[in-house]
Amino acid sequence: MKNLRYLKPIFSFFLIGLSITTISRILLFFVFKERVVENPNYGQLFLIGLRFDLILMCYIAFLPTVLISLLPDSVLKHFKKFFNIYFIFFLFLFLLMELSTLDFINQYDTRPNRLFLDYLIYPKEVVGTLLKSYLPSLIITTILLGIALFFAFKHGKKIFYPQESNYKTKLLLFLVVAFFLFWGARGSLTSKRPINASNAIFCSDQMTNSLGLNSLYTVAFAAYSMKNEGDVKKYGKMDELEAYTRVKKYMDVTEFIPGEVPFLHLQKPDAPQPKYNVVIFLQESLGAEYVGCLNGLPLTPELDKLAKEGLLFTNLYCTGTRSVRGIEQVTAGFLPNPSESIVKLGGSQQGFFTLADAFGRQNYDTSFIYGGMANFDNMASFFNGNGFKNIIDETDFDKDGKKYAMKGTWGYSDEDLAVKANEYYKNLGNKPFFSLMFSTSNHEPFEFPDGRIQLYEQPKNTVHNAMKYADFSIGKFFELAKKEAYFKNTIFVVIADHNTRTYGKNLVPVNKFHIPALIIAPNVEKGITYDNLASQMDIPSTVLALSGITTKTPMPGRNLLKLLKGTKGRTIMLFHETYAFRVEDDIVILNPNAKPLQFKVKSDTELIPVALNEEFAKDALAHIVASSNLYKKRVYKID
């Protein structure tokens, strides 16, 4: 052991790092024990965890190990401070990420991932949310990090400064040490590929699988994966033509327009009718579990009443867990891609089909109205380049000099949005319009004006109270709109972008993707329901068919009101990098670099494993491949 004393900084780094990650994993196990132990092989998460901890630490330790092993002591003494700072920096990151993990799992049902990185570029909103919703955690984290840094810099010299040693011994041992680091970094020498996050999947519960990783690894892996943005080969390979052909099987289109745009077809009104305005009121985080008329909690009396005035979709599912996914669907009806929403991808910022583009070509006024900042999640760029002529956001509320109900962390309240939008539509006179409204109040930290609703619970700023206030604002908007001339000539769509929290014991928590959608329109029968399985992706196609305009469209979604009898319902759900393709009660799940899995949907919370239907799995893969090709080749457009 005396001959190995020069490696003391490396051993110390491994010991402290493993202590941080292991203690964190044990604590997380006990926090989520009731759920974790439902998986009979849950003990594997600790072995998997040790393996992935070692993988990351071997990568981090490689550079200092090479320097310590190959540099003579006379040179090495000039690098002492470097080693101290290097190891303290990475151990600080380990501790910071593990301290952030519990709150992140409680919100997103998985360890920190790409979402963690995405939010770092919006410090105003994120800091505001942290201060108002996670202040105790923020204080505890700051104190623990401060204490850790104090002791690290006080004792770092003793722990991380290289020890003098015989140079020949170091050179002789270098190959052995390098071999163990290489072996540790790969996680195996028997596999052709290094171990990656997919190797941590040992059960059907996404969150439990994530406990077998560490949070610095998951964030680093997400950052590394960004270089492959748009690359879907990790799900499987398929010929482009085959992919398009398989997707077309699920479209309710009999004739496609020949040319470079694979799904281009003509959308005509079902019968002669006037051209209607269209308003889509996109609701932040309004899952079906909060909606009374969908057998959820009694939080939506206004939406429940409005359901009697239009068409309620009772079995409709969103495609993702982020607002950009909902925006992608209700404005563009694009096939969801596991890499990233097209709202944020660079190649879709111009010349990409949206409903605003289609209606704008018909001389409609097109607008996006939002109480927050439109640059959040790249919305303004995507909208501005793809047909939305007018973008109204928080800055416009600030400038108009009117007194509004409340301005919170995420912008102006939903009732302010209702007032602003109604005023805008009224001032358009007889000009037809297409508009997207987007709510903010039902977003953490759940701020809303006092005295508007009878609180469902105490304290005030809870998700249930925020949902009830969001519903109040929906009612207010319709109350205002019904007094105006434009109301009788407008198609209104109220739909959620996603649920507030998406979590569950299955690889894809299907129940958490269930959302409300309601269409109130002059040409839609009142008080009816659509009970077949449907996707958020189908709503823009349905609305376009109702609108009265004739236009080309590349959207693969279905006109749900004119489906052929016997057509099976289908939906697509993205849960982080897990891709689920469901047709009626059959669902196939694809994970990166893993074999497809198939289940029978017994209920939204119970999936029964069944033998894989290879053709069904190919259909699922086809939708991923088609989406990727549509984006890469810029063929999601009208002309």
| Segment 362-401, tens digit of pLDDT | 999 999 999 999 988 889 989 999 999 999 999 999 998 8
pLDDT for 36 = 92
Residue 589 pLDDT exceeds 60: yes
- Nearest Cα to Cα of residue 104 among 65, 72, 139, 133: 133
Candidate from 47-56, 112-121, 194-203, 261-270 with smallest mean pLDDT: 194-203
- Nearest Cα to Cα of residue 129 among 376, 454, 469, 456: 376
Please give the Cα distance from 500 to 505 (Å, whole number). Answer: 17
Q: State pLDDT tens for residues 4-19.
A: 788 899 999 999 999 9
Please give the Cα distance from 422 to 481 (Å, whole number). Answer: 6
CA dihedral 387, 393, 397, 398 (to 10 degrees): -120
Residue 547 pLDDT exceeds 60: yes
What average pLDDT does the segment 202-213 reach? 85
For the CA atoms of the chain, what is the radius of gyration?
A: 27
Q: Is 193 exposed, middle or buried (0-12, 13-18, 19+ CB in 10 A)?
A: exposed
Residue 494 pLDDT exceeds 70: yes
Please give the Cα distance from 11 to 162 (Å, whole number). Answer: 11
pLDDT for 339 = 81
Residue 194 pLDDT exceeds 70: no
Say how many residues make up the chain.
639
Helices 8-31 and 80-108, axial angle in degrees (round to 10) = 10
For 387, which DSSP code? T
Residue 193 pLDDT exceeds 60: no
Within 13 Å and on the Cβ side, how many CA atoms surround 86? 20
pLDDT for 2 = 62
Token couple for 392: 């109204």
pLDDT for 117 = 81
| 518 Cβ neighbours under 8 A, 6+ residues apart | 303, 306, 307, 310, 311, 312, 313, 493, 494, 495
Residue 190 pLDDT exceeds 60: no
| 289-325 as b/e: b if 16+ CB within 10 A | bbbbbbebeebbebbbebbebbbbbbbbbbbbbbbbb
Give the confidence band of 228 by pLDDT, cuts at 50, 70, 90. Answer: low
